[in-house]
Amino acid sequence: MKNFKIFAALIIIASIFTSCNNFIDEMPKGVRVPTTLADYEALLRDEYSVNYLPCVQALYLINDRQPGDNTCRNVDNLNTANYMWKEDKDRAALNSSTEDVFDNGYGILGVVNTVLEYVPGSTEATQAEKDEVMAYAYAIRAFTLFQIVNFYADAYDPSTAASTPGVPLIYSGNLGSPWHQGTVKEVYDQILADFNKALELGVPEKSMTVIHPDRASVEAGLARVYLSMRDYDAALSHAQAALDHNSELFDWVEYYEEYKNRIEDPEDYNLISSPMAHLNVENYWFCSGQGNPNYPTRNIDIPVDRANRFEDGDCKLACSWKRYESSTDVYFRGMLNGYYNLAGITTPEVYLIKAECQARKGDIEGALATLDVVRKTRIHPDYYSPSVASDVAEAIDRIRLTKDNELLGSMIPFIDLKRYNAEGIHSRTLTKTFDGQTYTLSPSSHLWTMVFPANSINRPGNGVLTQNSK
């Protein structure tokens, strides 16, 4: 089975936008051809192929990730162009062959498309069992498409989404399958259709594993999508539906107290076991967004000014990062070792979606109460006080602060910034100081839309792909 899984993943990824001149058209001898439902479901369990979607360039652009020592001073590459907000750089040229969101994202879509195509004809299964596996696949495709379109295309704007170029839509895992570049609206329509199809097929209340989306994760995914579409009524409804299934939060204050002596020792850089792994109570659907999903890794380092945007007394910050001085830079070093659900979806995000929707609808008191449910599990009692806001804008600012900090390391803060910038009302100009010089990134900068890798443009397979940015 292991050989089949590896082969299948490779073939599927190659079939999307291959850089090879010739397609593989024969199955190698000795490789198992999938026929049973168990064969196809096994593809969804291959975490490296299906549950791994890093977003390094998004993290660099919003300065949520510290680049390597001296990198931005000496290296002219895509990382530096995004981190240093170099609008004059040709990012498409710098992104010549590979990019994690594109390669991993369309690799995931290739796998789930194969499942959706062939599960109906699979053997040794009831129809209900087939429906369950297909529900998982539809949900995973929806989650993945959402991140891809928000990375490579402009944010959803109800007035322009139907004419704004989006990302490739492909519905087959077969080699050489045709595809087309949908508009942003077309892609969002497909995302909603996939989530709703998962519900129609009866996605389980409790899935096989946390890497298989369940009913709560689909409701949470719909809340995320409708928030991006500025449909706050629908987002609120689905957020509440998700929380009705699972509203648990991890207590970072308690975790801090357990490791307090080590955390507060400025000389102790021994790693602490991360509580963010698969069995964390906050997980709806687990998908790795950094490190390697097959073995534990240290969480990312973050710049000093990023650490400074946390609230005083934030125990998640204290547990996760510690100030560190290298030979060339000062930054906050990652202090957790383990697995991280940064491309999936969790209860804190859904609480904060609910809070923003309440604020948008004028329920400031309710919004702050929802916000504080999360804050009480993060902010040490010595520092905690209830949130206050005099108007909707101030309430949204408070919610954004917590959400950006809570989801640091994921793509969501980047997606939210694009969303606010497109809306205009809550847009922000980002600023930072590097080597004594001040840099800015305006809400209208073309850098907010990432570039497709050059290979996907030059060798698009059975379709035509137009670059959305530069």
Please tell me the distance from the alpha carbon of residue 408 to that of residue 402, in angstroms, as a whole number.
Answer: 10
pLDDT at 399 (0 to 100): 98
Q: Which long-range contacts (CB under 8 A, 24 or more apart) does 125-129 make?
A: 125/36, 125/37, 125/38, 128/202, 129/37
pLDDT band at 22 (very low <50, low <70, confident <90, very high): very low
The one-letter code for the residue type at 415 is: I
Positive or negative, the Cα torsion across 446, 140, 214, 206? negative
Q: Give the H or E element holding residue 110.
A: helix 100-118
Please tell me the distance from the alpha carbon of residue 66 to that of residue 469, in angstroms, as a whole number.
Answer: 24
pLDDT at 1 over 50: no
Given the DSSP bridges, would you call strands 180-183 and 165-169 parallel, antiparallel or unpaired? antiparallel
Local structure of residue 51 (DSSP, 8 states): S
pLDDT at 175 (0 to 100): 77
CA 18 and chain centroid, separation: 24
What are the pLDDT digits (tens) for 357-406? 999 999 999 999 999 999 999 999 999 999 999 999 999 999 999 999 99
Q: What is the mean pLDDT of residues 163-182?
A: 93
Q: What is the CA radius of gyration of the chain?
A: 22
- Residue among 171, 175, 172, 177 at smallest CA distance from 24: 175
CATH entry 3.30.70.2190 includes domain 2-249+344-458: no
pLDDT at 12 (0 to 100): 43
Beta bridge partners of 330: 325
Please tell me the distance from the alpha carbon of residue 7 to that of residue 29, in angstroms, as a whole number.
Answer: 12
pLDDT at 292 (0 to 100): 84
Please tell me the distance from the alpha carbon of residue 64 to that of residue 76, in angstroms, as a whole number.
Answer: 19
The one-letter code for the residue type at 445 is: S
What are the pLDDT digits (tens) for 406-436? 999 999 999 999 999 999 999 999 999 888 8
SS3 content of the chain, % helix, strand, coil (to 5): 45, 10, 40
CA 305 and chain centroid, separation: 22
Beta bridge partners of 332: 302, 323
Please tell me the distance from the alpha carbon of residue 40 to that of residue 38, in angstroms, as a whole number.
Answer: 5
pLDDT at 18 over 60: no
Q: Please say whether the beta carbons of 46 and 139 come within 8 A.
A: no
pLDDT at 5 over 70: no
Other beta carbons within 10 Å of 196: 14
Q: Range(s) for CATH 1.25.40.390 in the chain?
A: 2-249+344-458
What are the pLDDT digits (tens) for 315-354? 999 999 999 999 889 999 999 999 999 999 999 999 999 9
pLDDT at 97 over 50: yes
Q: Please say whether the beta carbons of 344 and 286 come within 8 A.
A: yes
Entry pTM: 0.93
